[in-house]
Every structure is written in structure tokens, then in C-alpha cells.
Amino acid sequence: MSVVPGSAKQEVCGYTGAGETDCLLPVVPVKVKSRNSGRSIETYAFMDPGSTAPFCTEDLRKKLNEKEKLTRISLSTMGENNAGEQKLITSYLLTDLEVCNLEGEEYLRLLKVFTHSNIPVQRENIPSQQNLQKWSYLSDVNLPHINTNVGLLIGANNSKLMEPCVMISS
């Protein structure tokens, strides 16, 4: 942070995006499948309880060969200054996507997925097996690595997908 000169002290924060890159976010490797095309793609999913809708990247939509309908949505973030103004963006609305773990044990349907150019999570924010080794109570957790970016954001309206399978106390 830096102090801006003037009669009153004001602090200006230098963070961009989600903040510090040494912060690990709830990101897990998954398989996403299109029921329309039958294609399946491995990607990372960001579990975002602060989002009220799921999103996937345009790149993931193209790889899944999804061509559903175009729509316009209002997308709000903390970084906006336009109180009351709605920022409409063009997005695809995908209704036939399913997600599961990498082993493909049980696919669960995603509700109304919208597309966006990217999911703003840096690779440094994705937990790795090496990160887990720092904490002995996580020694039995296996977190597979896949060579890709975050292609999916799962929001709070898909609460079943955000339920933890196992709780491990620190």
C-alpha cells in the first residue's frame, strides 16, 4: 500500500485480480462433459461461493463443441464504480454441461453455465500436491495435476457440487 499526498491520509491498495499470488484458492481438477456433443475435457474448476452463477471459458466451450444460444447478462464485480449502471456482456448460455472428478465416477449437471473470455484465477493460486505436503494432516490427500488453466467457475447456485466429500480438521 502507499499513501497518497494530500491533507487527508488516503491509502491506495496495489492488489489486482484476486490478490496475492501466494494465496491458494479452492480449485480442483475436474472433467467437464457436453451431453450434446459427448465430448469430455479436463480442466480446473474454481469453487466460488461468492458467485451466483457458473461460468466457463470461451476456450472450453469451443473444445466441447457447444453452440447453444447467445444471451446478454449483467456482470457485476467489486471493481466497478458505476453504481446502478448495468454492464451487459454477450455470453453463450450452456444448459447441457456435466462435471465430475477425474476418475469419472459420477457426473453431476451444471445449471445454466454462462461463457466468459477467462476465469480470473492465476496458476499460482491453484493448489498442488507440493503445497499439501506442508501440512501433515493433509498427507493422505491426493491432488492430481493437469496441464491446463482454470476453465470453469462453479457458483453458489450449484450447491451440491460445492459440498465437501470429506472434512479434514487442521
Domains recognised in the chain with CATH numbers: 27-78+94-161 (2.40.70)
Q: What is the pTM of this model?
A: 0.81
In this structure, are strands 113-116 and 55-57 parallel, antiparallel, or unpaired? parallel
Q: Look up residue 37 and give its three cell numbers.
A: 456433443
User: Which ranges in the chain belong to alpha helices (H)?
Assistant: 58-63, 129-132, 159-162
| Helix, strand, coil share (%) of the chain residues, nearest 5 | 15, 30, 55
Q: What is the tens place of the pLDDT at every residue in 58-88?
A: 999 999 998 778 889 988 776 665 555 667 8
Sign of CA pseudo-dihedral 96, 43, 129, 24: negative
The predicted structure's pLDDT at residue 67: 78
Mean pLDDT within 160-165:
83
Mean pLDDT of the chain: 84
Where does the pLDDT of residue 13 fall: very low under 50, low under 70, confident under 90, or very high at 90 and above? very low
Query: Phi/psi zone of residue 84: left (φ > 0), alpha (ψ -120 to 50 degrees), beta?
Result: left
Q: What is the tens place of the pLDDT at every residue in 124-149?
A: 999 999 999 989 999 899 999 999 99
Question: Which helix (H) or strand (E) covers residue 82, if one does?
Answer: none
The predicted structure's pLDDT at residue 166: 85
